[in-house]
Amino acid sequence: MIRALLRASLGVVLAAGLLAQTEVLVLPERLRSACERDSACSGPKRQIDVRFDQVKAAALEDAAGTARMHFTESDPLSVILGGVKTWRLGREVYAAQCARCHGTDGKLEDYPGIKSLAGIGKRSSEQQILEAVANGGRVDMSGMTSAEKHAVAVYVSGL
């Protein structure tokens, strides 16, 4: 009995450590709101909702790699898993190009004239976000691929 309890609590501790490391728990929630905002995820919404727990479980193994293997291309879920990849790419671009001014969470307001990016996805489209960056002239986006631009806009939309 005690041994079982110990084993169970060890499992919880290990799982908690894993979650903290990979941030996978926030991933499905962010993707869900990104999906709803951009209507990017076609397919029966209820089905997507029901499957979110499965995504969460699969994401625990490996957000974009292993998880993708569980579903077929025609499954609306593959759209979401494609979103996981995009979100991860966006996070990389954001960390490299944007975080020094906007902070890792988008809420840093130290830079002169800067505004928090929190909730930006609710008030701005992808195009407006990219225009704000281009017009601000603080980041040279000429070296970015369109996939990277799209990805960083998706990531920022979830802040």
Rule CB under 6 A: is residue 77 a binding residue for ligand HEC?
no
Minimum CB distance to ligand HEC, residue 156 (Å): 5
- Which of residues 156, 157, 158, 159 is near ligand HEC by CB under 6 A? 156
As separate numbers, helices (DSSP H) first and strands (DSSP E) second, the chain gives: 9, 0
Q: Binding to ligand HEC by residue 107, rule CB under 6 A?
A: no
Whether 52 contacts 65, CB under 8 Å: no
Stretch that binds ligand HEC, among 8-16, 37-45, 76-84, 131-139 (CB under 6 A): 131-139
Nearest to 92 by CA among 63, 72, 71: 63
Smallest distance from ligand HEC to CB 136, Å: 3
**How far, in Å, CA of 92 to CA of 52, rounded?**
24
Choose, by CB under 6 A, the member of 59, 120, 151, 159 that binds ligand HEC. 120
Burial group, residue 110, by CB count within 10 angstroms (0-12, 13-18, 19+): exposed
